Structure formats: structure tokens, C-alpha cells
Amino acid sequence: DAGITQSPRHKVTETGTPVTLRCHQTENHRYMYWYRQDPGHGLRLIHYSYGVKDTDKGEVSDGYSVSRSKTEDFLLTLESATSSQTSVYFCAISAGGDGYTFGSGTRLTVV
Amino acid sequence: DQQVKQNSPSLSVQEGRISILNCDYTNSMFDYFLWYKKYPAEGPTFLISISSIKDKNEDGRFTVFLNKSAKHLSLHIVPSQPGDSAVYFCAASVWGGSEKLVFGKGTKLTVNP
């Protein structure tokens, strides 16, 4: 599904290093979201955006920041990666009112 | 404080039989509910939804039932097929709000041939 792409698909990084994950959409949707998926926790919202430069925190935002300078791109940054941030990260987009389309995910391992 | 609960982490059924996945919610403001299906190494994909003005929505083999008084919804798959084996997430939101979906923890369905 070419409407939303995440990069990289896999990344291994060291504790304490900054990491940026990218989400790119071609659908011109207003809303974009970052979730993480962990065993026993399901999908938890990290941050979301409701427009260019308009972002807000989700339920697990500590240690993460986001930026959206263009409609099509939503970046998630781990300022200083920790082992607890080892997870699968999903980006999602929405035009509003009709559910989400998810990307294929980024598997991040912090060693 | 979990607003959307899927209390069964896993479910196993025989091919051809009915699969019933359950979901409970606590926030009475939720008025739009969705089910997503997720295969390993892929992102979740939308399966079916229901708004609070309905109590049933059907799409082929998939039917979602909503009981607002009990704050409970269920997904029925009939007949179940091995390709239905996946993790199913229940999600809820307030229509026209911030568009944030709140997800349950998921139920892993295994359909045995």
C-alpha cells in the first residue's frame, strides 16, 4: 500500500543515541499518528498530529518528540534511546472519521 | 486505566466454525468502534466498523455486534478460515473529536485446519 511508508523498516541502535523514524504519506490526510506495539500492551499512542506544526502527546510520550513541517511527513525522534524503547513502531494516517491506514512498521532494537 | 479491553489474549477454533472475539469499553463517550486485523510483520488493516446508532454491521463473513448498555462489542467470523489466523484489535473513538483511536491489547486468533 503506497499511501503510507515508514523508514527504516529495521534499525538497531545503541543506548543513549538519538534515533529518528520517518513516516511519509501521499494521501494528503490531515491526521498522522505514531503508535508502538509491545507484547501484552497492544497499540499505544505516542504522539499525533492534526496538521502542519500541530502536534500533541499520547499516552506514552515520555522520551519521544515529533515534528511535522509538511503535510506528508511526520517524524518521531527518540532523543536518547533506552532499552525500554525497543519496540515495533507504527505510523497511521487518517482523513478523519473513518479509521486509520497503518504503515508496515519499524522494528527498533536498542542494545 | 484501560478504556478498551480485550480480555482474551488468544482464541483457537476449528476451520468452518464460528469465531467470536469480544471487546469491552468503559468510556461512555465512545460512539465509533472498529476492528483491525494484523498479520505478523505487517501493519494492522481495517476490517469492519460500527457506529453507536447501530447494533449490528455485516460485511461478508464478518459481523460486529454492539451492545451499548453493556458497553460491549463482539466480532463474529463465520465460517472461520485458516487465513483468518491473526491478531485482532478492537478500537474506539469519539466521532468528530480528535480522531484518536484507543486500542485494546488484541486477541490472537488461530484457526486450525
Grouping H, G, I as helix, E, B as strand and the rest as coil, residue A110 is strand
pLDDT tens per residue across span A58-97? 999 999 999 999 999 999 999 999 999 999 999 999 877 6
User: How close does chain A come to B63, measured CA to CA in Å?
Assistant: 17
Spell out the per-residue pLDDT of chain B, length 113, in tens.
789 999 999 999 999 999 999 999 999 999 999 999 999 989 999 999 999 999 999 999 999 999 999 999 999 999 999 999 999 999 998 876 557 889 999 999 999 99
Q: Which of B106, B95, B113 is nearest to B47 (CA)?
A: B106
pLDDT band at A99, cuts 50/70/90? confident
Grouping H, G, I as helix, E, B as strand and the rest as coil, residue B82 is helix
Contacts of B91 in chain A (CB under 8 A): 99
Contacts of B102 in chain A (CB under 8 A): 45
Q: Which residue of B has its CA nearest to A4?
A: B43
| Among candidates A31, A35, A104 on the partner chain, residue whose Cβ is nearest the Cβ of B99 | A31
Would you say how long chain A is, in residues?
111
Contacts of B95 in chain A (CB under 8 A): 97
How far is it, in rounded angstroms, from Cα A35 to Cα B105?
A: 13
